[in-house]
Amino acid sequence: MTGDYAVTASGLTRRFGALTAVDHVDLAISRATIHGFLGPNGSGKSTTIRMLCGLLSPTEGEATVLGHRIPGESEAIKRKIGYMTQRFSLYEDLTVRENLEFMADIYSLPRKHARQRIDELLEKYELSDRQRQWAGTLSGGQKQRLALAAVTVHEPELLFLDEPTSAVDPQSRREFWETLFELCEKGTTILVSTHYMDEAERCHRLAILDRGRVAADGAPQGLERRIDASIVEMETDDPRAARLLLADLPGVLSVTQLGVRLRVLLDRSIADPLAEVQARLFGRGLRFEARLTHANLEDVFVAATRGRYLKARA
């Protein structure tokens, strides 16, 4: 079975003292797909990735990465993967080219092959004319491109990208994702963590992590169809008052304001969510219009985490 999958995990768990950072996570990531990890700060995304890279030992559970077991075969895994962190892990006082040469050296690429590969990557990531510039002086988008070039010098079969787009602008994010799809089409498997819903939506499959557990797992469109909540969208002349009235209605998971519109998520157990919302607002001096609507990925995230994070922000 592991032949079909680049990564499998069963009951993968990591504790730090009393804290369970990753709590019995199961995974099956097909080869040549993009698999997303979506989750709030501290939900265990980085810790899971670090275990799968062989950098951190699990407290419990099992996993295979490209057919190798972790943690026992971590050394074999490290040669076949690329791992890019939020901070890009570049050597700021080396030049762009030296950063790539250093990585080629780590992976023992023969000198001639390394030179060709580095030229190819500099061209591909539009860094040829900056190859003698210190990496520390590059812009955020350029650093990101160099970091991706650096972790793909040895043409890894599997890429772990831990929030790779958190420090770059929307245009760079878009271009970065186009590159990920190109790599994926050529056979690379990618596991990417993100806080952005639009990025999560682009993954072939997605795991939503919450407090170390997989709270939902599947193709983004499937998750939207199978959501465990009802959604009422409404327009009102006093969104703030309506939001306050709805926030404590039993069964309401979250109320999000979008200009004059409100998006209300209610527990699936409520038989007639539209009637509940209307009953709460009637006779309160508000003008409003409400309707049931389809879920988007943010709704799935809120339902999977039972509104914990949006409610906390409201």
Ligand X SMILES: Nc1ncnc2c1ncn2[C@@H]1O[C@H](COP(=O)(O)OP(=O)(O)OP(=O)(O)O)[C@@H](O)[C@H]1O
Applying CB under 6 A, among 39, 82, 141, 307 the residue interacting with ligand X is 39
**Location of structure tokens 């995974």:** 27
Q: Where are the beta strands (DSSP E) in 108-223?
A: 158-162, 189-194, 205-210, 213-218
Element (H, E) at 222: helix 220-225
Regarding 199 and contact with ligand X (CB under 6 A), the answer is: no
The distance of Cα 95 from the centroid of its chain, to the nearest Å, equals 30
Contact indicator for 142, 127 with CB cutoff of 8 Å: yes
Does the protein bind ligand X through residue 41 (CB under 6 A)? Answer: yes
- Candidates 35-43, 87-95, 125-133, 140-148: pick the segment binding ligand X (CB under 6 A): 35-43
Got the DSSP string for 196-221?
-HHHHHHSSEEEEEETTEEEEEE-HH
Instruction: Select the residue interacting with ligand X from 46, 142, 165, 172 (CB under 6 A).
Output: 46
Interface residue with ligand X among 16, 225, 240, 275 (CB under 6 A) is 16
The piece of 41-49, 76-84, 99-107, 153-161 that touches ligand X (CB under 6 A) is 41-49
User: Would you count residue 165 as binding ligand X (CB under 6 A)?
Assistant: no
Q: Which stretch binds ligand X (CB under 6 A): 39-47, 179-187, 224-232, 245-253?
A: 39-47
Q: By three-state DSSP, how is residue 180 classified? A: helix
Residue 181 lies near ligand X (rule: CB under 6 A): no
Residue among 40 and 218 whose Cβ is closer to ligand X: 40
Q: What share of the chain is helix, strand, coil (3-state, %, to 5)?
A: 40, 30, 30
Q: Which residues within the stretch 254-273 sit at the binding site for ligand X (CB under 6 A)?
A: none
Minimum distance, C-beta of residue 197 to ligand X, in the bound complex (Å)? 14
Question: Does 21 interact with ligand X (rule: CB under 6 A)?
Answer: yes
For residue 44, state whether it binds ligand X (rule: CB under 6 A).
Answer: yes
Q: At what angle do helices 239-247 and 273-281 cross, to 10 degrees?
A: 120
- How far, in whole angstroms, is CA 275 from its chain's centroid? 36
Contact status: 13 vs ligand X (CB under 6 A): no
Least separation in angstroms between residue 52's CB and ligand X is 12
Report the residue from 45, 68, 143, 145 that binds ligand X according to the rule CB under 6 A: 45
How many Cβ atoms are within 10 Å of 71's Cβ, its own excluded?
Answer: 14
The site for ligand X, by CB under 6 A, has a size of: 11
**Of these, 5, 25, 35, 43, which contacts ligand X (CB under 6 A)?**
43
Adjacent-strand bridge partners of 254: 265
300 counts as binding ligand X under rule CB under 6 A = no
Taking CB under 6 A as the rule, does residue 47 contact ligand X? yes
Query: Whose CA is closest to 109, among 170, 171, 154?
Result: 154
3-state secondary structure of 90: coil
Residues that bind ligand X (CB under 6 A): 16, 19, 21, 39, 41-47
